[in-house]
Amino acid sequence: MKLCDQSVLVMGMGRSGVSAAKYALSQGAHVTVTDLRTDSPRIEGANHTYGEHNRSEFVEADLIIVSPGIPASAPDIVAAQQAGVRVISELAFAAEILQERQIPIIAVTGTNGKSSVTWFIGQLLNASGHSVFVGGNFGTALTDLVASGDRPDFAVVEVSSYQLELPGKLQPTAAAVLNLSPDHLGRHGTMETYANTKSDLFRNMCDSGYAALPQTDANNPGGLLHHGDTAAQPLWLDGNPGVSRNGMVATLSGTPDDGVLDMSTLNLLGQHNQDNAAAAALLCVCAGVARNQLDFSTLTALPHRLQPVHEANGVTWVNDSKATNVDAALVGISGIRRPMIVLLGGAGKPGADYSRLEGALLGTAKCVVCFGDSGADIAAAINIENMKQVPTLSDAVHTAAQIAEAPDVVLLSPACASFDEFNNFEERGHAFTSLAQEATQ
């Protein structure tokens, strides 16, 4: 990718935008950064347009790099595209450079589970002796890998639907869309548009690549997810060719190393983690790793995803802060087999149907504590006998501490975003952990 003496506009000065701007500058580009926030970070050597967007900067650029928080439908982006300007996401920008360096990319998206599967792939590859970068939509921005100059054996990348609105020349070696359920519809509008955006992960793949999807209606409602006209070899995450799981045995077919995988050494909560581990193994083998090199005993839970964080008086406190929608919370609640006090709440998402949680909660929940901006909406949607509503996460934790007794689990699986009280789900998860320790002293 030619950057020297190019006019590069970076739109959005979050973590990934800052990384992209700094790298473009290091390669001799003339960089302008723009953000509606007046307090956005200053980038030495760049021109800054903060508090507004200048249309002329968009239509006169050679390349525009867009941070994921900005929709591709933004008027300035549309105007730039109509003027013939190349517009790509930060992840696509970095991926193109990594592909030029011949670093294989394993890419994972889906409404739920994508962080866990990405995390598991990284662990499996590390344990099999490979050097690995893990990041993208979570953790480290992909452009940080580009800037470091490191050449890992694999780049394992979580990809969001926001990043796939402008996928550029992203061309994974192995890729999967894990599932689809209502989420981000405030941005994408319809489930069809959301599914098509997810499926664009496969758009540029070549015939040596592998593209995996679910078949079941539970994970692919109405068959909305599709392989499209990709040149990659189509696989299924729940069938043949692909991976099929029966208990702790997974069977691979249509891959470079077909056969049985013994998953009996996996030690993680929930059926969903067995599915996630099987999907991770499939992508590792499709990327060229031998089946007999995969060690499921090395897999640990992703931070903030069904992560036990505290134990006191026989009560286990589990941080599932990453469950930011109803489907993710259903997975978390279903993954616990002990009596529970469940904490639900935060900043709700448009169209969320909290009544869907009721069936799972009736099984094992001794009490549900609702909190945050959407606490009242959740309490109204769920018919549970022992229901409490409090203003904040702190109140919810202290309420749970008064109720819980051995062998209960206190589970934060909020079914909501965190932005009413916190900057992100990680901050909320850390707060939950600290509050649990404080409340049980």
Please compute Rg for the chain using Cα positions: 22
Q: Any idea which of 115-124, 246-255, 262-271, 376-385 has the lowest mean pLDDT?
A: 262-271
Tell me how far apart the alpha carbons of residues 5 and 14 are, in angstroms, rounded to a whole number.
Answer: 24
What average pLDDT does this structure show over 336-361?
Answer: 94
Residues near 230 by Cβ (< 8 Å), separated by ≥ 6? 202, 203, 205, 209, 211
Average pLDDT over the chain reads 95
pLDDT of residue 351: 85
Tell me how far apart the alpha carbons of residues 217 and 215 are, in angstroms, rounded to a whole number.
Answer: 7
Where do the domains of the chain lie, and which CATH numbers do they carry?
A: 7-84 (3.40.50.720), 92-298 (3.40.1190.10), 307-439 (3.90.190.20)
What average pLDDT does this structure show over 342-348?
Answer: 97
User: Contact at 8 Å (CB) between 52 and 125?
Assistant: no
Give the tens place of pLDDT for each residue, 125-152: 999 999 999 999 888 999 999 999 999 9
Higher pLDDT, 269 or 289: 289
What average pLDDT does this structure show over 15-22?
Answer: 95
* CB-neighbour burial class of residue 226 (10 A; exposed 0-12, middle 13-18, buried 19+): middle
For residue 335, pLDDT over 90 is answered with no
Give the tens place of pLDDT for each residue, 157-169: 999 999 999 999 9
Give the DSSP letter of residue 39: T
3-state secondary structure of 31: strand
pLDDT of residue 4: 97
Q: Which of 359, 352, 362, 291 is nearest to 327 (CA)?
A: 352
Give the tens place of pLDDT for each residue, 47-66: 999 999 999 999 999 999 99
pLDDT of residue 69: 86
pLDDT of residue 120: 97
pLDDT of residue 214: 97
Q: Which of 194, 245, 191, 235 is nearest to 213 (CA)?
A: 235
What average pLDDT does this structure show over 3-7?
Answer: 97
Give the tens place of pLDDT for each residue, 85-138: 999 999 999 999 999 999 999 999 999 889 999 999 999 999 999 999 999 988
Give the tens place of pLDDT for each residue, 168-211: 999 999 999 999 987 776 778 899 999 999 999 999 999 999 99
Tell me how far apart the alpha carbons of residues 294 and 174 are, in angstroms, rounded to a whole number.
Answer: 16
pLDDT of residue 1: 86
- Helix then strand count (H, E) for the chain reads 15, 20
Banded model confidence at residue 420, pLDDT cuts 50, 70, 90: very high
Residues annotated as catalytic are 114, 137, 184
